[in-house]
Structure 1
């Protein structure tokens, strides 16, 4: 026997070309139905015409068997890793895997026909002899059905909404559709339609899923006894369920064997041997209650993305095949790096780690960790719309905005002493340290709060709204970003996926690729719904010149003596750039670092915002451990070099951007007061080497000689970073959220 199509949907997709479309149905009804049903009516011309009219009204709105959508059955969606073979999840309401007839044991085919419809290959969809036999059996006190395999298939698919209607009308409709169906399909095709759709209990639909579930084998490998057991289930999937009711299942199996013997499909010896066997089940229990098998943080993110893009119905019934961006090897590296930090003995139970790594040139998410234990509540910190305050890692956006509007980071010097008061809030540097006057590059390396506040509030400085515009163009949602000077200290919220994507824009020379977990989505018919094979669409949000200048400054965070991220330096010597971030009292610790090949952001904190035990390098340690492994197969390379952007001779921004005193808010007036402390010294044109002049951002990176040192310096040295106010709410007030970082020990 040869089946021409693998499943119902495949058959339907070729229906129109395989055979001539059935002539439009007139108001007459098939002669078979007339004979059957007229016999139940009063004989006479008037009665005959009345029956015809009644039947015609019953069948006038039947589904079109030429309509492919009418046969769409629930099929599971399969989610794969980027290798196309590692199964991450199978999402379904009905566990079904359609197969072709050559993938089914002959015992199943023969047993199904012998048990359900022994004249299957003789009738035309409705079996008159079978009906007569069933009537005789039932009249003598027995029980026997008369529905053919074709009728059962119609009932389970085209008329599934009427399945529970025990009426003559439903039976007439079922029989008419069965006759129509047999005019279009061959017997083997109809048999496989049935076997691919029927309910075998325990959530299994179709013979393949049943074979795998009950016996852990493919349908092609079922033995006679196993096949007979499965063939017996559909008559009553609960009553004959071999797991729940093994005695009933055994009796039903032997009945199937008896019918196979009677119909000549097996010999007496085969019957005897099979009937003597126990059920010998090898039940394959689902490895996950939600269908997710591997990498649950990432896989649940992909599932949720699909549900938002399509619908829950499509995702769990549509039979999609989804190839994702996750790299199994990188994901294993990420899990190992995070687990090592959890087991280091320094972290408390309430502290969690989130990590996202993206390919900056495609937007592909390569690894993701969303917290400590997915099984607890499935909350994903790495993608949550309720992000975490970013602290000083947000200063990157202020830096990029400043350079983009023409401010030279190496030749613009700003007063980095403290404190600074803005709108009643007093801003300090780490340890209340006074750094003096520093270039923007140097104040970035040491993460001076007061310097960055003055950069935002100073005359001709960087407007808060411009910073927000920069952040959103690079990948942040912007929902929690408010246009106040404190924005530069990281009062807004983001998750690690957004931050990795944003910093990746710098690694991609100013081109932003939206982060995605999906490479391709294909529907059950092979139609490509989504194709990100070459990455998400890239948008040049800043020039390569600006991106390179920002990167040169952020390299200093790792390699300058006063930088706050010495622990992020990679042992291989691969160049690194990035920015640390810490909020008040170390509630949130960030390290957003990138190389030319990958961008990875790590957050450490407590989900309920409680104070955490503190180590200045936790996030850096996780990042370094992960990136050392993740980059092991990549050649070492430097960032693509660009000429410096066209810097202006003073802060960018014209007087036309300024408000008059009588239109300014109280915060803006306070900002003007604080700007009096700002030094706006600029030298003329920039050199072709923006990493020089009071900056060592072009310094060749060397491996950190003590990357495991995660303790802050006892006494912060110049360049030491940020600190929260030790007496919040009293006296001099507290810092803005976005508190203090500890300098790395040189």
Structure 2
């Protein structure tokens, strides 16, 4: 018989190394979540393991402590982790068939803190590990510290951890305001959160609360007379789920959390308890400006979308597209599984007003993303992933992949300039036919009829002409364009090296596009975007510093400067000219608009020497679009970026005087040629000028009659809900660089920011054309412009 106790002791000794160490226990009580700070020292987020707010014991109602000790462990102040009397009594009752729990508050805390190390199964091994850990906790903590830790770590359902969140969730008060009844109710839940849930099971919760009040009478914390009065009162639940405030940069923080957890794991730190201080690249001022600009303009676009979908051809069963949405829901499937035919199922769903409103809101919610990067060092300065993180946590900056449309064209022009092309080189603006796979023919088109006249590359990108870009793509080659785009920053998304890539048919992320444009703004050198500058411990000691990544040459400086110079024309006189006319931005900027087929996606990216900012606007379901007017990137995405830059310049966060260096140093051959010409002129006089031959497109082209129609007049127009953004309109015979002198630098401002804006009813569209279908064979819109249906774009919801 003596061998049995010896074996028990030996078994206990064997288990000791498999329980948490004293060092781990000392760390466990310290709840110091990582603090995420902006570059200017503002708090962006705190990384907590759960929705919990730690409060010291002196800020917790004494009624809560009395109720807890009286009910869960009335000898708490007498034992050292294990109540042997209670344990023995519980064991006897269990053996007799009446299972009882005998865990002390300290043992319960051990389970709460170390569920994986101790285990969850009701076995002898678990009970021994629990007891060993409880002894260790008692050796490290005082009784007051144990109570504080227990009350701050215990779960109370509905993502409420700790007494502070529980008090707010169930009674709308703080932990120090809990009265006797409220304290007894919360204590009663500890026996079984779900079973005694006061929201779903109020009768059980009331009975359990009165049991707790009885325990308080038994151990002298309450008089019988008080019990008689209190036990008759209702629960008085004031339930409201508690959500963590999203913070000023929630999508950025969400991406950063993943990175930081991986870093902490590699370096043996705990994100949730070691008090790390993470200093990020975000500028709190720019973040606030970006959020305000995106919210304001996306809300205005939402008003337009709501108006378009509110009519008889909007969100109702009479709309072919909306009927398709209805058929895709689980509710429709359930109705069909129950035996209803298609017509009856749709009729039943159409009569459910809550269902129809919810589906309409889900499908017609305008979404947007915004990102700003300092091109000089790759620091991310502002990140807005959606209109409202609480409603839409999906990140349209890094997760969403959408076709970039004409914002992809600068890679085609950049590759051409790297091959020696000049902005004054010309292609004929004519119908283009490009053979693709098999016997298919790709026919890129523009909103404007072909002129059959020469157009310079400078005008081609300013007016975002698809026919010119397609011809240039065939001269450069899709493979070279795809390689350049990857080198410049489009490094995570798959780029299909086909001719239509020139018009942005391969889906990419907004982060990739802004990163690539930052390469353009940085003299052709790619710098990997970064989020963090340093990490410190809770005492301010620097644990790690993160310098900018080494620059990688993606495009020669001369080709890049030429590209910036021609992209200035986009905002000076082209499709992005409302940056000047509407927003009055006088800084040296360059950029590009983008609109995909059917107006599914609107893009705009703007570059300055100190900041590059881009925005995407659209719907999560690509079958829903804005109309031909508001769906264009110049009217959906550009105003967000324009508003942001206007705010940043006014606040002097961005220097108005900063200029791009676009002086291109002549090469050795060019220098020799200039010197030779000067020597010849000196000896023999000036050389007569010879007109350069027109460069013909190296593609199959259809002959078309010369266009002689004059340019459409620009008429003033206004649409309800959003101020019209002025967008330069190319004439049917857009001027070439030869016929219209071009001055490098900044033009005079067309109109002040407050002046009426002239717009055209015939703006150039920029469809991102896949080889099939072409814009001409897109399916017509069922039910008017609000319900336009286009073949689904290639879309990947995540990375």
Shared fold per TM-score greater than 0.5: yes
Q: Distance in 1 between matches of 2:197 and 2:174?
A: 19
Question: In the TM superposition, what is the alpha-carbon distance from 1:619 to its structure 2 partner?
Answer: 2.3
Question: 3-state SS of the aligned residue for 1:204?
Answer: coil
> 1:467 is matched with which residue: 481, 498, 507?
481
2:725 paired with 1:711: no
> 2:382 is matched with which residue: 346, 366, 382?
366
Q: How does 1:6-405 map to 2 (within 5 A)?
A: 47-57=1-11, 60-62=14-16, 63-66=18-21, 95-131=51-87, 145-158=101-114, 165-265=121-221, 278-286=234-242, 299=250, 303=254, 306=257, 319=272, 325=282, 327-344=287-304, 352=366, 354-361=368-375, 362-364=378-380, 366-368=382-384, 370=386, 382-384=397-399, 386-388=401-403, 390-405=404-419
Q: How does 1:583-594 map to 2 (within 5 A)?
A: 583-584=596-597, 586=599, 588-594=601-607
Q: How does 1:547-586 map to 2 (within 5 A)?
A: 547-560=560-573, 563-569=574-580, 570-575=582-587, 576-584=589-597, 586=599
Q: How does 1:505-584 map to 2 (within 5 A)?
A: 505-510=519-524, 512-514=526-528, 541-542=554-555, 547-560=560-573, 563-569=574-580, 570-575=582-587, 576-584=589-597
Give the corresponding residue for 1:644.
663
> Contact 1:364/1:515 (CA < 8 Å) preserved in 2?
yes
Unaligned runs of 5+ in 1: 1-46, 652-669, 678-689, 730-736, 740-746
Question: 3-state SS of the aligned residue for 1:114?
Answer: helix
Question: 3-state SS of the aligned residue for 2:141?
Answer: coil
> 2:461 is matched with which residue: 439, 444, 448?
444
Q: Distance in 1 between matches of 2:385 and 2:64?
A: 45
Q: Distance in 2 between matches of 1:691 and 1:60?
A: 90
> Contact 2:446/2:466 (CA < 8 Å) preserved in 1?
yes
Summarize the Cα distance change of 1:128–1:393 in structure 2 as closer, same or farther, 3 Å threshold. Answer: closer
**1:323-353 CA distances to partner (integer Å, 9 max, x unpaired)?**
8858244213212202212324786677755
Question: In the TM superposition, what is the alpha-carbon distance from 1:77 to its structure 2 partner?
Answer: 8.3
Q: Distance in 1 between matches of 2:508 and 2:564?
A: 21
TM-score, normalised via structure 2 length: 0.65
> Contact 2:411/2:485 (CA < 8 Å) preserved in 1?
yes
Question: 3-state SS of the aligned residue for 2:425?
Answer: strand
Question: 3-state SS of the aligned residue for 2:140?
Answer: coil
Q: Distance in 2 between matches of 1:102 and 1:305?
A: 35
Question: 3-state SS of the aligned residue for 2:594?
Answer: strand
Question: 3-state SS of the aligned residue for 2:416?
Answer: helix
> Contact 2:603/2:614 (CA < 8 Å) preserved in 1?
no
Give the corresponding residue for 1:15.
none
Question: 3-state SS of the aligned residue for 1:494?
Answer: coil
Question: In the TM superposition, what is the alpha-carbon distance from 1:135 to its structure 2 partner?
Answer: 7.5
**1:473-529 CA distances to partner (integer Å, 9 max, x unpaired)?**
332236442334443333333233332332233345545454567788899999999
Give the corresponding residue for 1:680.
none
Summarize the Cα distance change of 1:415–1:373 in structure 2 as closer, same or farther, 3 Å threshold. Answer: same
Give the corresponding residue for 1:621.
635
Q: Distance in 1 between matches of 2:606 and 2:118?
A: 59
Give the corresponding residue for 1:601.
615
> Contact 2:445/2:466 (CA < 8 Å) preserved in 1?
yes
Q: Distance in 1 between matches of 2:432 and 2:141?
A: 82
Question: 3-state SS of the aligned residue for 1:61?
Answer: helix
> Contact 2:35/2:46 (CA < 8 Å) preserved in 1?
yes
TM-score, normalised via structure 1 length: 0.69
Summarize the Cα distance change of 1:495–1:174 in structure 2 as closer, same or farther, 3 Å threshold. Answer: closer
Give the corresponding residue for 2:490.
476
> Contact 2:489/2:516 (CA < 8 Å) preserved in 1?
yes
> Contact 1:89/1:299 (CA < 8 Å) preserved in 2?
no
Question: In the TM superposition, what is the alpha-carbon distance from 1:232 to its structure 2 partner?
Answer: 2.7
Summarize the Cα distance change of 1:473–1:119 in structure 2 as closer, same or farther, 3 Å threshold. Answer: same
- What value does the CA root-mean-square deviation take over the aligned residues? 5.0
Summarize the Cα distance change of 1:161–1:240 in structure 2 as closer, same or farther, 3 Å threshold. Answer: farther
Summarize the Cα distance change of 1:527–1:237 in structure 2 as closer, same or farther, 3 Å threshold. Answer: farther
Q: Distance in 1 between matches of 2:426 and 2:96?
A: 103
2:429 paired with 1:417: yes
Summarize the Cα distance change of 1:580–1:236 in structure 2 as closer, same or farther, 3 Å threshold. Answer: closer
Question: In the TM superposition, what is the alpha-carbon distance from 1:307 to its structure 2 partner?
Answer: 5.1
Count of equivalent residues: 630
**1:386-441 CA distances to partner (integer Å, 9 max, x unpaired)?**
421x33322211222333455442xx422233234433544555534236334322
Question: 3-state SS of the aligned residue for 1:357?
Answer: strand
2:516 paired with 1:494: no
2:504 paired with 1:504: no
2:451 paired with 1:434: yes
